[in-house]
Amino acid sequence: MNGVTRRRLLKGAGATLGALAFAKAVEPVLDFTSELSGDEFLQRHYRELSPEDMREVLARLEAETKEKYGAEVTIRDIRPQEGVQFGYALNLSLCIGCRRCAEACHVENNHDRKTHQSYIRVLEMQQGSIDMEHGDATYDHPVPQPGRYYMPVQCQQCDNAPCVKVCPVEATWKEQDGIVVVDYNWCIGCRYCEAACPYHARRFNWEAPEISAEEINPNQSYLSNRIRPQGVVEKCTFCLHRTRTGALPACLEACPTGARVFGNLLDPNSEIRWVLENKRVFVLKEELGARPRFFYFFDV
């Protein structure tokens, strides 16, 4: 790994101060965050974990979920498939703004119930404009409204992702299948990435998510929908715990209109390829050069 990592920072501090002094220095941190176990504090970066480390980490996280939330969950570490590059497209002529997708994401990804959080914001747009900054995410009237259209926005899984570049500790990166992920245990919560994302796709956990044991989705993965700790950033992962096993994302399954098209960009017979080759697709804010994997189109 290049750059300054959290580990190296800590090591550096340790070398300067001497090991004892360093231990003394971090003690208040450990005291203060009683939530944070010593194991967790010393956990290595996702990409440096050996298979045994990973097994231990997953077991610890499962036990913690049991303890804090009273729920039996299975947390897996699901890796990308060879020969798969994910892409997503959305037909703005079909979308009716019903927010079913946002709701499905809320449930699937164990979001905080109180804030009704979701990785998707459905923007109500004025016809004639595609400037998402002028969209309204808080509409609450029958849809579709005359003269409006609806543009759901979630993480665009950019190939040239600004959020990845600004992270000072490399807690977020792009995986081989195109999905941008966050190691919630490595994230220091500085929120640089949230500020860097042109699509407002990242969310910050101001508080630990509140969710009752019965409502927790027990099918979890380390890099996606496990319950996030307080003080870290999270985002849409194209439901990698589903999609890396061949299933469709939760938001697509919930969409009643079929506005959403998902698949493998490398499969010439996939639906997503047909859309990219036969519809006039565009990406949001293309001029920024972030190269999104998420495409929009209108029927013409």
Q: Hey, which residues between 63 and 122 contact ligand SF4 (CB under 6 A)?
A: 95-101, 104-105, 108-109, 119-120, 122
Beta carbons within 8 Å of 147's beta carbon, 6+ residues apart: 126, 127
219 is in the binding site of which of other proteins, ligand SF4, none (Cβ under 5 to 8 A by kind)? none
Stretch that binds ligand SF4, among 128-136, 186-194, 200-208, 246-254 (CB under 6 A): 246-254
CB 99 → ligand SF4: shortest distance, Å? 5
Q: Which is nearer to other proteins, 124 or 170 (CB)?
A: 124
Q: Which is nearer to ligand SF4, 158 or 169 (CB)?
A: 158
How many residues sit in the footprint of ligand SF4 (CB under 6 A)? Answer: 29
- Between the alpha carbon of residue 292 and those of residues 87, 139, 251, 278, the distances in Å are 9, 26, 18, 18
CB 162 → other proteins: shortest distance, Å? 15
135 is in the binding site of which of other proteins, ligand SF4, none (Cβ under 5 to 8 A by kind)? other proteins
C-alpha dihedral over 2, 199, 102, 283, to 10 degrees?
-100
CB 209 → ligand SF4: shortest distance, Å? 14
Per the rule left: phi > 0, alpha: psi between -120 and 50, beta: everything else, 208 is beta
- Between the alpha carbon of residue 75 and those of residues 28, 62, 217, 218, 282, the distances in Å are 31, 6, 11, 8, 36
CA dist 230 and 289 (Å) reads: 32
β-strand 294-297 against 86-91: which pairing, if any? parallel
Contacting residues toward ligand SF4, per CB under 6 A: 95-101, 104-105, 108-109, 119-120, 122, 150, 152, 154, 236-239, 249-251, 254-255, 257, 259-260
